[in-house]
Structure 1
Amino acid sequence: MSEAINNTPSNGNGKRKKALTLLSVAVLLALAGYVAYDKLIGSKHESTDNAYVQANVVQITPLVGGTVRAIHADDTDYVKAGQPLVSLDPADARVALEQAESQLAQTVREVRTLYANNSTLNAQIKLREADVQRAQTELNRLQADAKRRAPLVETGAVGREEFEHVQSQIKAADSSVAAAQSALSAARDQLASNQVLTDGVPAEQHPNVQRAAARVREAFLALQRTELPAPVDGWVARRSVQLGQRVAAGAPLMAVVGLQQAWVDANFKEGQLNHLRIGQSAKLVADLYGKKVEFDGRIVGLAAGTGAAFALLPAQNATGNWIKVVQRVPVRIALDPKQVAEHPLRVGLSMNVDVDVSDQGGKSLVDTARPSASVETKVHERAEAAADADVDRIIKANLGRAIKTAPRAKVNG
């Protein structure tokens, strides 16, 4: 029995030593696995959970002031580009347009008068030239008559009184010639003055007509702008406008969010940016759908500064005690439109982002500039074309030409 008691401690030490050995081996294996994972996989990925969905949020603001008479869309509604959202009272704008159209018609007729006066003034010049020629002929006749009678005065064949009468007629004729020449000169100056107003351009391109036409376009567009269309496809959000409200130009009424072109701003730590490159692929998971839905993305750009730099109250690191805080910089990641259409996202949703940085062939985020994204709307082009058509109709109708014109463009209201 004493022998059994003496063997117990040595057996316990052996088990302890074996356990410690196994634990050491496990730790070494785990450390080796971690090192292997970091070298083979971890070092080739940069990830962050500080990422959020962004999209174009288009503010709907009126270009003219007015009273709201109709609201055609509400929060959460989906609208297409060009679909009316808000209607303002068009009465004042319609009256202004009618006044501008009447002024344009009157201006066209006045300009036509200027061009017609050229022919009238040309006819007057010819009349004045005939007057000059007639007066000069009469003067020449009287001078020839006086020349014939001058020798007869000495012989007494012609009385001196008669001869003096002829001389008086010559002076009167000479005055008539001078007056006719002055009238001719005045007619020519009047024609030249009128031609200054008409030369070089047809009547429809005359500056007076163009100025009146610009006023018509301005009034026409003001009337068109009483209808606020959706500039892009998207969902209505933040509607604040109410019926009967008097709104000023530029006041925000609602917003249209274009979720079809959503992207993700992933806020990576500054130490992670060194491995990121333009064009690197990324895998994204939204908390909304969980890991069952994975989005494919691609790095397209880097913000110009950290989030703290653009904060409402930026940090003042040069004052007082200072504690270093690792900064984050937004990196823009484009999403696959097909995946976004299949699994819609919303602005501000959280995302988990994992970027494969194994491909270092792309340009550095700070060494390249992303091409400017083309964002435009064409919903306002129709109003401009309609304004031009209205101006063209009025000009042609008042030029007195037999030209077939298109039907008058329909205006709002």
Structure 2
Amino acid sequence: MAARPHFRLAPFLLTAVTAGLAAAFGWAMWDAYMGAPWTRDGSVRAYVVALAPEVAGQIVEFPVKDNQFVHKGDRLMLIDPRDFRIAVSHSEAAVKQAKATLENTEIEAKRRQKLVKDVSISVEEEETYATKAIASRAQYEQALADLDQAKVNLERTEVRAPVNGWVTNLLAQRGDYAHVGQNVISLVDADSFWVDGYFEEIYLDQIHVGDPAEIKLMSYRPTLRGHVNSIARAINVPNAQPNHQGIASVNPIFTWVRLAQRIPVRVHIDEAPKGVALSAGMTATVQVNPATPARSK
């Protein structure tokens, strides 16, 4: 009589437990994937300060290089100050001359006031000298204002960093002629980095200001920590733009296709791991971990 095959229970149980754990893990991942709002459509942002000289002239000093870090107050460039120093000297001389003229006309006006009381001169002559004194004072004040302006222009030959940051896309160099209002140097504000995550509108009921967020950059393994700073209140809408007749232009749609709009959510970076060098424009994946339960739809 043939022996009955021995049924081994341990492998079966091990397989069942493994399958159960895999299913539970898969369900947890799916729940996290579908539950927590996340988007791969994110980017690192930063404010860029565009600096343009307020006086024109040749650049005689340019101590910075492209991508160099500078501190607030550091000199970035110097425009030839010689003409502006001369202008200050001229203005100082004009102030002295105007002051001397003022003192003289005021003395003459006071003298005529005494003479008119003694009927030595006419009232009309006395008023003439009083008017000259007033005009001299106005010229003196104008000379003071011109001196102040000359000093301000001299100070403006030095362009200093208004923020801590990095020089970026530097194209100017020593010897170039700087024009008033024309951008010469740009700084990426080192203290202004944030992340914009563009979330589908179906997730917005789960996102609230203050919610913690995780940021994963394409270029670095470590995860950055942050929180939701604000949610945009408007995006561009192609519909309802007026045509040449002032009538709203509405694009036709297929009723069975509804595309969710993407709304910018601004995420403040609370903590960046050591070694992560942020650059504006980096691609980021953003996940928001709602601190409060989502509102019922």
Same fold (TM over 0.5): yes
- Counterpart Cα distance in 2 of 1:218 and 1:188: 35
- Whether the 8 Å CA contact 1:125–1:188 is kept in 2: the answer is yes
Among 99, 103, 123, the alignment partner of 1:112 is 103
SS at 1:119 equivalent: helix
**How far 1:320 moved relative to its partner?**
7.6
Distance in 2 separating the partners of 1:36 and 1:72: 53
List alignment gaps of at least 5 residues for structure 2.
1-14, 239-247
Aligned to 1:277: 208
Partner residue in 2 for 1:231: 162
Structure with greater proportional helix content: 1
In structure 1, C-alpha distance between the alignment counterparts of 2:25 and 2:71, rounded to whole Å: 57
From the superposition, tell whether residues 193 and 95 of structure 1 become closer, same or farther in structure 2 (CA, over 3 Å). closer
Distance 1:32 1:232, change over 3 A: closer
For residue 302 of structure 1, the aligned residue among 231, 236, 242 is 231
On the 8 A contact 1:307/1:330 being kept in 2, the answer is: no
- Say which SS state the counterpart of residue 225 (structure 2) adopts: strand
> More strand per residue: 1 or 2?
2
Q: Contact 1:51–1:350 (CA<8 Å) still a contact in 2?
A: yes
1:71 matched to 2:71? The reply is: no
Tell me the amino acid that sits aligned with residue 269 of structure 1: E
SS at match of 2:150: helix
Map 1:57-68 to 2 at 5 A: 57-68=48-59
Give the count of matched residue pairs.
267
1:295: how far off? 1.9
> Structure 1: how far apart are the matches of 2:23 and 2:51?
58
- State the SS of the aligned residue for 1:211: helix
What is the aligned counterpart of 1:45 among 27, 32, 36?
A: 36
Indicate the structure (1 or 2) with the bigger Cα radius of gyration: 1
CA contact (8 A) 2:166 2:189 kept: yes
Query: Is this contact kept in 2: 1:260–1:340, CA < 8 A?
Result: no
- Per-residue deviation, 1:112: 1.9
- Pairing partner for 1:352 from 274, 280, 285: 285
Structure 2 distance, partners of 1:102, 1:93, is 14
Report the counterpart of residue 272 of structure 2 in structure 1: 339
**Aligned AA (2:50):** Q
Aligned counterpart, 2:195: 264
36 and 58 in structure 1: CA distance in 2 versus 1, 3 angstrom threshold: closer
Which of 322, 327, 331 is matched with 2:261 structurally?
Answer: 327
Q: SS at the partner of 2:50?
A: strand
Q: Quick check: 295-304 or 77-86, which moved more? A: 295-304
SS state at 2:197 partner: strand
| 1:63 alignment partner AA | E
Residue 166 (structure 1) aligns with: none
Q: Is the 8 A contact 1:86 1:229 kept in 2?
A: yes
Q: Secondary structure at the match of 1:261?
A: coil
Instruction: Identify if the C-alpha distance between structure 1 residues 75 and 193 changes in structure 2 by more than 3 Å, giving closer, same or farther.
Output: closer
Residue 34 of structure 1 deviates from its aligned partner by: 3.4
Cα distance in 2, alignment partners of residues 92 and 324 from structure 1: 66
The equivalences for 1:177-326 within 5 A come to 183-190=121-128, 193=131, 197=134, 206-290=137-221, 293-306=222-235, 318=250, 325-326=259-260
Q: TM-score, normalising length from structure 1?
A: 0.56
Quote the Cα distance in structure 2 between the aligned partners of 1:232 and 1:302.
26
1:307–1:328 CA contact under 8 A, matched in 2: no
Identity of paired residues, percent?
Answer: 24
Shift of 1:122: 2.7
Q: 1:188 to 1:299 in 2, by over 3 A?
A: same
How large is the Cα RMSD of the aligned pairs?
A: 3.5
- Structure 1 position 97, deviation (Å): 2.4
Q: Are the structure 2 counterparts of residues 324 and 93 from structure 1 closer, same or farther at C-alpha, using a change threshold of 3 Å?
A: farther
Q: TM-score w.r.t. structure 2 length?
A: 0.75
CA contact (8 A) 2:206 2:294 kept: no
The residue type equivalent to 1:64 in the other structure is V
| Secondary structure, aligned partner of 1:120 | helix
Q: Check 1:122–1:341 CA distance in 2 against 1; reply closer, same or farther (3 A cut).
A: farther
Q: Contact conserved, 2:223 with 2:273, CA < 8 A, in 1?
A: no
Amino acid at match of 2:127: D
| Residue type of the alignment partner of 1:59 | A
Distance in 2 (CA, whole Å) between partners of 1:44 and 1:104 is: 74
